[in-house]
Structure 1
Amino acid sequence: MGTEISARSFTGADRRQFRHKVRECMSALERMLRDGAFADAYSSPEPQLGMEIEFNLVQDDMAPAMSNLEVLQAIDDHAVFQTELGQFNVEMNVEPGPLSGDATIEIEDSLRQSLRRADERMHLFDAQLVMIGMLPTLELDHLGRDRITANPRYEALNEQIFAARGEDIELDLDGVPLPGTDEVEHLRADTNSVVPEAACTSLQLHLRVAPEDFAPHWNAAQCLAGVQVALAANSPFLAGKALWHESRIPLFAQATDTRPLELKNQGVRPRVWFGERWIESPIDLFEENSRYFTALLPEITDADPAAELDAGLIPQLRELQMHNGTIYRWNRPVYDISDGQAHLRIENRVLPAGPTVLDTMANAAFYYGLLRALVEDDDPLWRRMTFDAAEENLIIGAKFGLESRLYWPKLGWVGADELVLRRLLPLADRGLESFGLSARARDRYLGIIEGRCSNRQTGAAWQREHVARREAAGEDRRTALSGMLRDYVAAMTDGRPVHEWVV
């Protein structure tokens, strides 16, 4: 959800003072890194799996349910479920747990129980949760300013993005032909709100990382982004159009873009950003964020981080946190305080939600295991792959899913399914074993990944094939999308992994 704010408007003086406070926070962070202030945060031998899942809300007729505040009141579990930008969204915070033994299976069971309880309480409001990257029944009429959740942060964010841009946002997305057709569909629209961002519902994975280990973990995560998206694509439809397999990637970038065309032509960096280089230190990322991006929510505190450090206190660095939260890197650096200790973590943001709890856990296990294996490799992957190649993999993976051909060192251009089956699954297994995850848990989750690649059926592939068959049987696009989503919800509730779903 992001840090709460109280202000609705900001002055030029606010922005200048905020910039100064961000620099003070940066100086404090550099001092903390020099002085070893993060050491105690990593004294535990068990790495923690952290997870946030965004959900869409639908009515019984599969139309979006604009009732997140009522739904959250009914669920009555504010520590777990929170609002998101759109009235048709909620977010779930999964209690962190260790990546060892059978702990991930326990997290899976707990997640399933929480969703079951929530579902039982919200049916009175003609609403149910859907784990999907982009709700296929969303229309452009659902994405106006009147659909922003009543929250000062969201309203201010919308105002500030449009103030920075100075004009409406242009959505311009091309599609990939559905099975059995050659038609490339297009979505062209202007929007006066950032609510299209809310159409992009994701799975966000967190991992605490010691400062000295941060750079290799972030570099490895960047290498994996394209593979992750190809393997888990689940966002092929919006506003009645068949777009990319993982349309969240281009849509999110466009929906939060503060640059008019002239600034794009000048090479000004976008706020949704892959980055532009491998890093040597976490400071590299925080420094780029503070240097390259104007403040969107320049709310200022009275805190003096240097004085707090002098007094032996841990500074909140709230201005740095606020600014960092409005720059949407696909692998975001995070400074935070938990249990009285400052820590750094990497927030992996490339994955869509769903399709099922089991698929979600499999996607998480694959990422954590493969990340660990790449970091432990004596010949780091990012020294054998250009940064541009890693970014190109993300775009290709998002566009074509498991039909992609991705670049990989020593293999060249290879099918995403073949890459995972031949090269990456054994690495992920080795990494999870290094974490201490049991053979039972490794087999459970990596077996899902193997089945998905063998069947070449992601959530996106299933949705696309299902709609194509319905249309071939004579249904129009809207009817096909509603029918497909109803079948999707039924299969999601049944809980079998998506590679086993029947079209």
Structure 2
Amino acid sequence: MGTEVGRHQFTREDRARHRQKVRQCLDVFAEMLRGSKFEFERPMTGLEIELNLVDDEAEPAMRNAEALAAIADPDFQTELGQFNIEINVAPRRLAGDGPADFERHVRASLNAAEDKARTVGAHMVMIGILPTLHREHLTLESLSANPRYALLNEQIFAARGEDLEIRIDGVDRLAATADTVAPEAACTSTQFHLQVSPGDFAAYWNAAQAVAGVQVALGANAPFLFGRELWRETRIPLFEQATDTRSEEIKAQGVRPRVWFGERWITSVFDLFEENVRYFPALLPVCDDEDPAQILAQGGTPQLSELRLHNGTVYRWNRPVYDVVGDLPHLRVENRVLPAGPTVVDTIANGAFYFGLVRTLAESDRPLWSQMSFSAAEENFHSGARHGITATVFWPGLGYVPVTELVLRRLLPMAYDGLDAWGVDAGERDRLLRIIEQRCLTGRNGASWQVDALHRLEDERNLERADALRAVLQRYIPSCTPTSPSTSGRQTANPRADQGLSRRSRAFPSIKGERSCFDLRSTAVCP
């Protein structure tokens, strides 16, 4: 989301020119697909993690500019809110110890960045939504300085013509209004990128859509918002509502939302880009001087900037990406369904499960999407977000089944086969998928951990909700990101988690550790 946009006002002529240019880009893209002008022989994978910044009192720290200046690493970039930053990990191949290489790089980068961010009074947290976040933290003033964010805010509310309404019915109920897109900044996610060929793109995107509900159920890590216990992955309904350009009347007419699961299985990547152009007006009608048709005719690679920028303002949970690296174009599926955290190894395990599972499904002789309606996949997605690891989902041949049973019986073996097909070392495959297995056996993930911690603090210590949520976050950080790996195969709870929950100027440990705190081998699974 960090692309710089310089223009601050758009005229009618800008919008008309942009519409013409983006349609030209779409035509050129179609011609490129016919000509097979894409790099895919050595497919790469990528990873992005959005992070929250908190102060010593576990409150949101509006210091991303200072933190980024202190970190001084181009892998770290700004995000929507001043309490957000993002790490973009360089692409890697999965073969061999690719997942372990991701893990080592992410762990080292986050530890180094945390040490530097501390010098400006900020600490990094990998979590879907900060439990200590309140409405007063989400205002126009809390948006980052990148002009793109102010422009997006302006354009979304110009399209709506009225304030946003956020309504989420979960364990508790939330009804709130907002006059900016700042509530979107509450949602911090993990994004997996998978490079695929044009011919395989539809199969991989369909597979990613089919398993999105399972992913979010297993990885849920955002049960709280504004002091309320809502969905186990509250990030999903919040993001769907916080960037909605439609008024109630427009919704009633069936106009598609910009945060979109989609409405059908596809046969080509072109389907998605064409839908984006056909259904969604431009939010940022910025044009450059490139003539994509001329560049393609001369044997070059067009950037298709207008199409790419427009694509970036349609927030599909599995987004198609066109990119150019070294004058070679490629296509990626960007998987955006998971929250950040809780740990580095949990993140890598989530990636291993996803990459392995979609490989097996995409290469299946009988595609899953030929046996399953698209509406069933969307229902699974929202069921997984609402209920988390206790969700029940639909699966062909099984009907409605607990998601943990589905994973243990059907999906984990597929993920094993898929990682084998990617060439991942057997030891890495087993280590990471065992974490997914143990989540299913224990019924514990980030969201259930947070909820259990909250209820214990409220019931046993008689804490008020705000104090209990702060204590949850203060315990989450050292428990889910232990300061050092155990050599005995067991972790002990960090004793600082029980000391002085309201102590001022607490220092938070760095993001370290070797295994998930939700693994059965760990004793630090509950506050």
Amino acid at match of 1:221: A
Contact kept, 8 Å, 2:127 with 2:341, in 1: the verdict is: yes
Query: Do residues 4 (structure 1) and 23 (structure 2) align?
Result: no
Map 1:247-266; keep pairs closer than 5 Å: 247-266=234-253
| Distance in 1 (alpha carbons) for counterparts of 2:517 and 2:254 | 40
Amino acid at match of 1:42: F
What secondary structure, in the 3-state scheme, does the structure 1 residue paired with 2:518 have? helix
| Distance in 2 (alpha carbons) for counterparts of 1:42 and 1:350 | 24
Contact kept, 8 Å, 1:457 with 1:498, in 2: the verdict is: no
What secondary structure, in the 3-state scheme, does the structure 2 residue paired with 1:397 have? helix
What secondary structure, in the 3-state scheme, does the structure 2 residue paired with 1:69 have? helix
Task: After TM superposition, give the deviation of residue 16 of structure 1 in Å.
Answer: 1.1
Contact kept, 8 Å, 2:67 with 2:117, in 1: the verdict is: yes
Q: Deviations for 1:158-184, whole angstroms, at most 9, x for unmatched residues?
A: 0000000000000111122xxxxxxxx
| Distance in 1 (alpha carbons) for counterparts of 2:481 and 2:386 | 27
Contact kept, 8 Å, 2:204 with 2:358, in 1: the verdict is: yes
> Which residue of structure 2 lines up, in the alignment, with residue 149 of structure 1?
144
Map 1:368-387; keep pairs closer than 5 Å: 368-387=355-374
Contact kept, 8 Å, 2:308 with 2:322, in 1: the verdict is: yes
Contact kept, 8 Å, 1:208 with 1:346, in 2: the verdict is: yes
Map 1:447-486; keep pairs closer than 5 Å: 447-473=434-460, 474-486=462-474
> Which residue of structure 2 lines up, in the alignment, with residue 498 of structure 1?
517
Contact kept, 8 Å, 2:2 with 2:78, in 1: the verdict is: no
Amino acid at match of 1:386: S
Amino acid at match of 2:275: E
> Which residue of structure 2 lines up, in the alignment, with residue 273 of structure 1?
260
Task: After TM superposition, give the deviation of residue 2 of structure 1 in Å.
Answer: 4.1
Question: Which 4+ runs in 1 deviate beyond 6 A?
Answer: none
Query: Do residues 91 (structure 1) and 86 (structure 2) align?
Result: yes
What secondary structure, in the 3-state scheme, does the structure 2 residue paired with 1:125 have? coil
Query: Do residues 354 (structure 1) and 341 (structure 2) align?
Result: yes
Query: Do residues 43 (structure 1) and 41 (structure 2) align?
Result: yes
| Distance in 2 (alpha carbons) for counterparts of 1:349 and 1:250 | 14
What secondary structure, in the 3-state scheme, does the structure 1 residue paired with 2:119 have? helix
Contact kept, 8 Å, 1:166 with 1:260, in 2: the verdict is: yes
Q: Deviations for 1:174-205, whole angstroms, at most 9, x for unmatched residues?
A: 122xxxxxxxx111111011011110000001
Task: After TM superposition, give the deviation of residue 434 of structure 1 in Å.
Answer: 0.4
Contact kept, 8 Å, 2:223 with 2:447, in 1: the verdict is: yes
What secondary structure, in the 3-state scheme, does the structure 2 residue paired with 1:55 have? strand
Q: Deviations for 1:247-306, whole angstroms, at most 9, x for unmatched residues?
A: 011000000000000000000000000111111111100000000001000011111100
Pairing partner for 1:122 from 117, 123, 129: 117
Count of residue pairs brought into register by the alignment:
490
Q: Which deviates more from structure 2 when the two are superposed, residues 387-396 or residues 167-176?
A: 167-176
Task: After TM superposition, give the deviation of residue 126 of structure 1 in Å.
Answer: 1.4
Task: After TM superposition, give the deviation of residue 43 of structure 1 in Å.
Answer: 2.5
Contact kept, 8 Å, 2:202 with 2:267, in 1: the verdict is: yes
Instruction: Tell me how large the CA RMSD over aligned residues is.
Output: 0.8
> Which residue of structure 2 lines up, in the alignment, with residue 315 of structure 1?
302
Contact kept, 8 Å, 2:2 with 2:146, in 1: the verdict is: no
Structure 1: state its 5+ residue gaps: 177-184
What secondary structure, in the 3-state scheme, does the structure 1 residue paired with 2:321 have? strand
What secondary structure, in the 3-state scheme, does the structure 2 residue paired with 1:235 have? coil
> Which residue of structure 1 lines up, in the alignment, with residue 66 of structure 2?
70
Pairing partner for 2:56 from 52, 60, 67: 60
Contact kept, 8 Å, 1:86 with 1:149, in 2: the verdict is: yes
Q: Deviations for 1:58-109, whole angstroms, at most 9, x for unmatched residues?
A: 111000000000000000102x100000000000001111111112112211
> Which residue of structure 2 lines up, in the alignment, with residue 26 of structure 1?
26
| Distance in 1 (alpha carbons) for counterparts of 2:427 and 2:132 | 38
Task: After TM superposition, give the deviation of residue 432 of structure 1 in Å.
Answer: 0.3
| TM-score of the two chains, using structure 2 as the length reference | 0.92
| Distance in 1 (alpha carbons) for counterparts of 2:4 and 2:438 | 42
Map 1:324-363; keep pairs closer than 5 Å: 324-363=311-350
What secondary structure, in the 3-state scheme, does the structure 2 residue paired with 1:42 have? coil
What secondary structure, in the 3-state scheme, does the structure 2 residue paired with 1:437 have? coil
Q: Deviations for 1:290-331, whole angstroms, at most 9, x for unmatched residues?
A: 000010000111111001111211000000001000000000
Amino acid at match of 2:517: V
